[in-house]
A and B are shown apart, each in its own frame.
Chain A
Amino acid sequence: MHKQALLPSSGQLESLETTIFIWLLTTMKVVVKNWHAIAQWKWDTGNNDADEGDVEGDVCGICRVPYEGCCPTCKMPGDDCPLIWGECSHVFHMHCLLKWIGTAASKQQCPMDRRPWVTAERKVDPS
């Protein structure tokens, strides 16, 4: 639901590397018989500007597993182990956060800022 497909745009396909690759294929007289397109997915945490260098920002603060992985009790990443957003803007694996909120010790507070946890509706950036 909140996943964002990262497929190359037509502009990226016409990049210099592609041009060189096609040139190599023609000069080496190699014939491409078939090819597979591969897609990858990433949770859209609204924090994509910081995807370089900000490695820490891409893991769940509770289990320290990347958002795209799953919480320690799940086996399959993806829709079966989704993320949860707080109105305070902090993001966790839903299962990790619910395990914490379910304890009396949590006082129903966000683990990051100790403000009362309020689950946010994901606001999708229109751009």
Chain B
Amino acid sequence: MAVSSRRLQKELTEIKTAGTPCGITLLKADDFQTWFLSLEVLGESQYKGEVFALMFRFDPQYPISAPAVQFVVDDKYKAPLHPHVYSNGHICASILGGEWSPVLSVIAVCITLQSMLASCKEKKRPPDNDRYVAHAPDNPKKTRFVYHESDSAAAP
């Protein structure tokens, strides 16, 4: 059994016994490679009434290596309009790249992204959205994001 499976089984058991925080719901976790969770910001925010879906992809070294996390973009879900979220669902967030720590978890990532949306002042795409999306790799972990306080910039 891969190291990632054991850790994810523990996270799954905790989600099923203790539940998920408000606004976060487990949609699908049929294996230990890909999970889907829904995310919404409760209370007053720029995203009132909007529901998003997150896709987590794990490699066998999780949690030593960070999960690949992105917003789902399909017929049902759209990526939130946010200065750190590209229209293909890729997210520029430091904890998903250089600031990942193996003590973080799926739920911890969801909470961070929820508060990233909650604190948004202006709904807009990253300034380099079109350029990034045209050349973006399938897996956002292959992107070297440059982290800024406000705006995003990616170097695929």
Contacts and interface: CB of A to CB of B under 8 A. Distances in A.
Interface residues of A, number: 16
Given A63-B3, A64-B7, A64-B10, A114 B101 contact: yes
B148 interface: no
Nearest to B1: A72
B49 interface: no
B102 A73 contact: no
B63 interface: yes
A114 B104 CA distance: 12
Contacts of A62: 63-64, 102-103
Nearest to A110: B101
Interface string B1-36: 101001100110000000000000000000000000
Contacts of B102: 61-62, 96, 100, 111
B66 to A, nearest CB: 7
Nearest to A114: B101
Highest count of chain B CB atoms <10 Å: which of A64, A72, A103, A112: A64
B64 A103 contact: yes
A96 to B, nearest CB: 8
A99 B62 CA distance: 11
Contacts of B100: 105
B103 A105 contact: no
A111 B65 contact: no
B65 A63 contact: no
B103 A111 contact: yes
B3 A100 contact: no
B98 interface: yes
Contacts of A105: 65-66, 98, 100
Contact of A72 (B3, B11, B65): B3
Given A62-B63, A64-B10, A100-B64, A112 B3 contact: no
B103 A61 contact: yes
Nearest to A61: B103
Contacts of B6: 63, 65, 72
B64 A73 contact: no
Nearest to A109: B101
Nearest to A90: B103
A105 B3 CA distance: 18
Interface of B: 1, 3, 6-7, 10-11, 63-66, 98-103
